[in-house]
Amino acid sequence: MKLQIINLSRVPRLIFIVAFSIMLSACNQSLTMEAETDVPVPLMSKLPLNMAVYYNEQFRNYIYEENSEDRPNWAIKSGASMVELFDQVLPSMFQNIDHVDSINANTNNSFDGLLAPEISEMQFALPNETKSDLYEVWVKYSVKLMDSKGELVADWPLTGYGKSSTEFLKSRDKGLQAAINSAFRDAGAKFALNFNRVPPIRQWLADNPDVCNSVHADIC
């Protein structure tokens, strides 16, 4: 029987190599990025309404953060892109849009209504997690609509989904960036197309004489 002799002088070096490898692997998986958006402006007839929009601080500065074994030190800054998303879509939907610094800014009836989008959740799925060739992103919003008296008309859940393929985007960062942009585009399209289909919003629009006397009279 042969005895295996361990060179103890090499043990500290081996420990260092293992520790360094673990640390390097974690660094490779860490992620810091700023989401971008490129949302096409929808072509549609504007509603004859003067609307206000309010973005709270959490929405403007939203950062998706996670620090787990699979996603160590993830920080995806999305606030600026989400503001840009709504700033691109809203002017194509309404006659006039004004930014306000308070959700109570409409108590003096200066606007027909006030919109206040809020971020509820962002979710990500990586190819190695789903055993597919797709990066997938879900973004969930809650969009509040207040009337001219500051009363809540609707609190509308809005979800956007986006994906990108590893076939064209080999980099994880580029794959996630493309999927995030796709999710923002999906959310923007759903918001523009479905706004007047939400029952309480449709009723609110039908109660507005300017809407009923416009090309949107079918709402009434």
pLDDT of amino acid 173: 84
- Residue 3, Cα to own-chain centre: how many angstroms? 62
Tokens of 117: 């989008």
For residue 109, pLDDT beyond 50: yes
pLDDT of amino acid 130: 79
CA distances (Å), origin 114, targets 13, 133, 177, 207 = 64, 41, 31, 16
pLDDT in tens, 66-83: 888 878 888 999 999 999
For residue 102, pLDDT beyond 90: no
What's the pLDDT band for 22 if we cut at 50, 70, 90? Answer: very low
Q: Which CATH class is domain 31-219?
A: alpha beta
Alpha-carbon span 166 to 178, nearest angstrom: 11
pLDDT in tens, 164-213: 987 666 678 888 999 999 999 999 999 999 999 999 999 999 999 999 99
| Helices within the chain (DSSP H only) | 11-29, 57-60, 79-89, 127-130, 172-194, 199-206, 209-212
